[in-house]
Every structure is written in structure tokens, then in C-alpha cells.
Structure 1
């Protein structure tokens, strides 16, 4: 089965998401997590769950600074728009099924209990069919 990665970003585009999690009540956070847990249990029951993790909002981009130099970082923190809030990996039958699962994931409840309808980045894992034959 093809494997796909779903990426949830802290915000997308140039403006913060209108349902930014820093405005949520403890109950709204609990409801959001219950939705995520239920989706994961459904994926497990269907043999489609690979893994998932929420990520801290703290993050820094790092790259090689040159011989004998410290690593180069993008400030003390990376731009919020660049950070990933969490990820989920699934094994599904088709790209269309991956899109349907991601669309459902985007409807998780947020501020005021309303569905987020946030953008979910869907990325296929690299497969042998995607790599050139070097032999």
C-alpha cells in the first residue's frame, strides 16, 4: 500500500489561522485531542496507521556553518509559519484515499468547538518506483 505523511502546520499562508490553538480553552484542547485519538483508533482498526506525533512549537532551522564554525540558525526560533504542529503517517490504497483521510483530519474541532478546516500537507513517501535506476 502507498504510504503518505500528513503535516499539520502551526499556520499556513501569511496570516495566522483564525482558530489559533493559543486561544483554545482546556476543554477545546481536550475535544481536539479526542478527535485525533478517535481517528487514530479508526486507522489502527483498518490496519492503516503508521504513526503520529504532536510537536512542540519550539523549533530552530539549523545548517552547516563551514569548517570550524558553529552551526547557522534561523534566529532563536524559526518563523511560526514554517513550523509543523504534528504529523501522521498512513498506509492507504490510493492517493484519493489519502486526500479523503487528510480532509477529515482537517475538520478536527478547534476554537469554539468549530471545525478547523485547516490545510493539511499530504506527502507520499518515496518509493522504489520514484527513484531512478542507477544500475
Structure 2
């Protein structure tokens, strides 16, 4: 088994495959999208492939060490930005191919009009320790 992080990228600006930003969806469309996400996670819990997941607020803060012990804090990211991480899910699957299959399915979550949103998902394997060589 290998763990993968699925980073959900929300594009606030209209994209060719999803021309209705989420802030203009009807309450029913938002509910349908959230139900799809819950059902997807529940199904993966049943197969033992779901580890954890969470939606993220569009507000945030950037922090970076400045070398003097006073980390500068800047506002952002903002919901108006072209692209921001909207949430994440950790899966534990048998293969990279299975991770890609699940990411593709998650990308098809419904949006405006019930059409798939074709959401960008970043698929990242967890870094693991290299095998120990013994003689």
C-alpha cells in the first residue's frame, strides 16, 4: 500500500471545462457537490483506501522565517485568486494506477447544472524512507 495526497485546486476564474465559478452555484448544486464528496470518501472508507480529508477555507496567511526570529505574516491566499488549494484527501492504495483512477473520479464531482467540474487535482505520493540495505 502507498499513501497519496490529493490536493484539490479550485479555480476561481472561469475555466474552459467549468465556466461557472463555485460562488455562483445554486445551494442545490453546492449540496450535490458536497454529497458526492461525502459519498466518495465513504466508499473509500469501505474499501480501506480512505485515510483522511478536509476542505479548506479560502482565507489564509502566508508565514516565512525571516532569519531574525520575527516571521513576516502576509494575508493570502484569497478566494479571488486564480488558483488556490480548496482541500485535500489522503488515500492509501495498492498502486499508482489506482491513485490516478480515484483522482480522475474525484475530478468529476458535479458542479453547476450537475455537470462534472473537471477539477484540477494534484496527486502527490508520500515520501517514504528508502529501503535499508543489509549484507
TM-score for both structures, normalised by structure 1? 0.84
**Correspondence 1:123 to 2:121:** no
List per-residue Cα deviations over 1:57-115 (Å, max 9, x = no partner). 00122112331545142xx3226245210000000000010000000000000111111
Name the structure where strand makes up a greater proportion of residues. Answer: 2
Matching residue of 1:32? 33
Q: CA RMSD in A?
A: 2.2
Matching residue of 1:78? 77
Q: Distance in 2 between matches of 1:68 and 1:93?
A: 43
Unaligned runs of 5+ in 2: none
Matching residue of 1:47? 48
Question: Is residue 65–residue 72 contact of structure 1 (8 Å, CA) maintained in 2?
Answer: no
Q: How many residues align?
A: 128
Matching residue of 2:100? 99
TM-score for both structures, normalised by structure 2? 0.84
Question: Is residue 59–residue 83 contact of structure 1 (8 Å, CA) maintained in 2?
Answer: no
